[in-house]
Amino acid sequence: MSLQAVSPLVARRVFLANLVAQVGIVVTGGLVRLTDSGLGCDTWPRCDSDTRDWTPHEAVSHHAYIEFGNRMLTYVVGAIAVLCVVAAYRMTVRRRDITTLSWIQIGTVVGQAVLGGITVLTDLHPMAVASHLLLSMALIASAVALYERSGEGDAPARFLVRPEIRWFGYGTLGVAGALIVIGTVVTGSGPHAGDLKAKRFDVDIDQIAWLHADLAFLLLGAAVALALALRVTDAPQAAQSRVWWLLAVLIPQGLIGYIQYFNGLPEWMVLTHMLGAALTVVTATRTVFALRIRGDQPREAADEAEPETREPVATSY
């Protein structure tokens, strides 16, 4: 990216690429765990403690390639985070909220790298692994916030729905967060802990799995209730469509969860479920952003945006 000023539309595309990268590294991290490659490298930041610089050779197992490959992807994600900061500062109209959110992307990527090292050095302690995934989900939420705020104006928030519906939306997002937290405990208690010798949480796997299922039902019910509330109160179409996107993720996500549980947790289904968890964070966070607006988009972006974002109710996109 050149150092010349960039339009809000171009900057927003960079922020979207950042969001996609954050979701993608959750999937590749899941692949490391599901292939029992979490300890494919025996140290950090190098892969082999017996050599100064790790290089591929025939004696290295495929687990090392998978684990080290995922580490290298962190540099890609970090580079995109740096581009976010550059784009935020080179926008034609610089905004403090955008620059702050862009710096958060870099800070959390660095935190992820450090947590990844702690995870390896503690031999995949389940608390470290869970924290690693939860920080990824928080980073996805912050990437959504960066993308959403870059498409809005900078005026004070004006709410589009009644206060009780707005708080119900916040509660729905909170249930989604609780579901993700319990999901990390489920994974840390089951067979896919990252390595055959890795420690597990000392909990009953069946009980924690059913608690996870109960929270999934609660989240689904909350999303349905929110969709109905927005419908009967004639809320803007943009807000209603966001909830339908959330339901479009939650329904297959729940089905996959049940099918994988009763079929011995096949790896490909668990990986798909992890992708669904990341998309749940994306759609739930975007739903909350659709409940209010902050004025029009910057003119440079509005002139080139898709027809949907030219509608007044869609300025929260």
Looking at residue 276, its pLDDT comes to 92
Contacts of 303 (CB under 8 A, 6+ apart): none
Q: For the segment 66-75, what is each residue's pLDDT rounded down to a tens digit?
A: 777 777 888 8
Q: Other C-beta atoms within 10 Å of 280: how many?
A: 24
Stronger pLDDT, 89 or 35, i.e. the higher one: 89
Q: Does residue 3 lie within any of the structural domains?
A: no
If you average pLDDT over each of 42-46, 101-105, 113-117, which comes out highest?
101-105
Q: Does residue 234 lie within any of the structural domains?
A: yes
Q: Does residue 184 lie within any of the structural domains?
A: yes
What percentage of residues in the chain have a pLDDT greater than 90? 38
Stronger pLDDT, 113 or 218, i.e. the higher one: 218
Q: Does residue 89 lie within any of the structural domains?
A: yes
Q: How far apart are CA 94 and CA 40, in angstroms?
A: 44
Number of domains forming the structure of the chain: 1
Asked if residue 38 lies in contact with residue 194, where contact means CB atoms within 8 angstroms, the answer is yes
Q: Does residue 132 lie within any of the structural domains?
A: yes
Question: What residues are paired with 6 via a beta bridge?
Answer: 91
Mean pLDDT of the chain: 81
Average pLDDT score over residue span 81-107: 91
Q: Does residue 1 lie within any of the structural domains?
A: no
Confidence band (pLDDT; 50, 70, 90) for 280?
very high
Q: Does residue 2 lie within any of the structural domains?
A: no
What's the token pair of residue 52? 């100064």
Average pLDDT score over residue span 47-69: 62
Stronger pLDDT, 162 or 264, i.e. the higher one: 162
CA dihedral 122, 126, 128, 134 (to 10 degrees): 160
Q: Does residue 251 lie within any of the structural domains?
A: yes
Residue-range definition of the domain harbouring residue 303: 8-314
